[in-house]
Amino acid sequence: MSPLSLTSPIAALRDEFLGGPGYLAACTVGLPPRATRDALIADAESAAAGRVDVPTYTAAAERSRALFAQLVGVDASRVAIGSQTSPFAALIAAALPDGAEVLVPEGDFSSLLLPFVHSTRRLRVRAVPLPELADAVGEDTALVAFSLVQSATGDVADLPAITAAARRHGARTLCDGAQAIGWLPVAADAVDALVCHAYKWLCAPRGVAFLAVSEEFAREIPPLFAGWYAGADPWTSCYGHDLPLATDATRLDISPAWQAFLGAEQSLALFAGADPGAIHAHDTGLARRCRELLALPEPAIASAIVSAPDPDGDGLARLVRAGITASGRAGRVRLGFHVFNDLEDVELAVRALRG
């Protein structure tokens, strides 16, 4: 693997970020691009001066919806907006029959799983190791809920196998793409519902989440969190109770955090206009080189996240002392390689972990 060419599409993306060298934590929080930073600063200064532009906020939320839809290959009418993963998971839980079985991977992220565990539907949540997920789908399974990329390990789920097994047994699928979308091309049509909090690999401000759902499944999901923004015409849905909701997935909208969407629009535009294949090759290439140098096994499906056992935290401590921002999860050290990283980051991390 050679250093990046200055004319490569990744080099152009890197130029959109102020930071990046030594930052290997996109799997925790993505770095805001320059345009995102500028939009947030300009808005804060404008608001502090008494110039609050509500129509601009609303337009940014709608453009963000459209950009996310473009990223995952569906029409914007099939995308609901919100602020977190767990409320969307709760909506999916509410769409299931009482006592239904929900199949999940062991150790998946709790914001995806807990809404099913604590649902008033008294759902039966069954957990199996990720590699066994497809084989574990049975006649009693109503929903398979899983992260496409596991937060703790970086392991990538076998999406075709899981969805094929779910279809054979008539089960719905809910996929969390927060650790994937931004470096791994994802098509929303592959599953019944796709959720994504955009503050990681899409480098948006925290507080911007999306639910892309099939038209058929959307009709089964109750709008538990409906507010003014879920109305057929939000600006005429501010008062009263006898108001029509939208007829598409936007009926599941949760009122947007305006300032966050103002920044998200810029981040999403950057990734929607980029070459997803080039990003995937770059990110997974850096991760692969890191594993090679650390003599770590290569996963069955290429991942941009490198994870290694670190039960006492010594590895993470060495990275911090070397000036590297990384993360520790579930007794492991975790490195995420993204568009603002290069081979120097790989070499710096490897030297630190080798001690």
**The pLDDT of residue 55:** 93
**The pLDDT of residue 8:** 84
Per-residue DSSP letters for 206-268?
SS-EEEEE-HHHHTTS--TT--GGGBSSGGG-SS-S--PBPSSGGGG-----HHHHHHHHHHH
* Tokens of residue 234, six digits: 């939000």
pLDDT by residue, tens only, the chain of 355 residues: 344 444 488 999 999 999 999 999 999 999 999 999 999 999 999 999 999 999 999 999 999 999 999 999 999 999 999 999 999 999 999 999 999 999 999 999 999 999 999 999 999 999 999 999 999 999 999 999 999 999 999 999 999 999 999 999 999 999 999 999 999 999 999 999 999 999 999 999 999 999 999 999 999 999 999 999 999 999 998 999 999 999 999 999 999 999 999 999 999 999 999 999 999 999 999 999 999 999 999 999 999 999 999 999 999 999 999 999 999 999 999 999 999 999 999 999 999 999 8
Q: How far is CA 323 from CA 108, 259, 326, in A?
A: 29, 31, 10
**The pLDDT of residue 269:** 98
What is the model's pTM?
0.95
Tell me which DSSP letter residue 18 carries. Answer: S
Domains of the chain: 9-31+275-354 (3.90.1150.10), 54-272 (3.40.640.10)
Question: Rounded to an integer, what distance in angstroms lies between the CA atom of residue 83 and that of residue 77?
Answer: 18
- Cβ–Cβ < 8 Å for 176, 210: no
**The pLDDT of residue 355:** 80
Q: Which amino acid is at 176?
A: D
**The pLDDT of residue 44:** 97
- In sequence order, the β-bridge partners of residue 101 are 124, 141
| Phi, psi values for residue 349, rounded to 5° | -65, -40
**The pLDDT of residue 2:** 43
The helix-helix angle for 343-354 and 314-321 (nearest 10°) equals: 130
Dmax (CA) for the chain in angstroms is 66
User: Long-range contacts of range 272-277, CB-CB < 8 Å, 24 or more positions apart?
Assistant: 272/67, 272/70, 272/71, 274/9, 274/13, 274/339, 275/9, 276/185, 277/185
In the chain, % helix, strand, coil (3-state, to 5) comes to 40, 15, 40
CA 167 to chain CA mean position, Å: 24
Question: Rounded to an integer, what distance in angstroms lies between the CA atom of residue 345 and that of residue 259?
Answer: 32
- Cβ–Cβ < 8 Å for 143, 172: yes
* Tokens of residue 274, six digits: 């980029």
What does the chain come to in residues?
A: 355
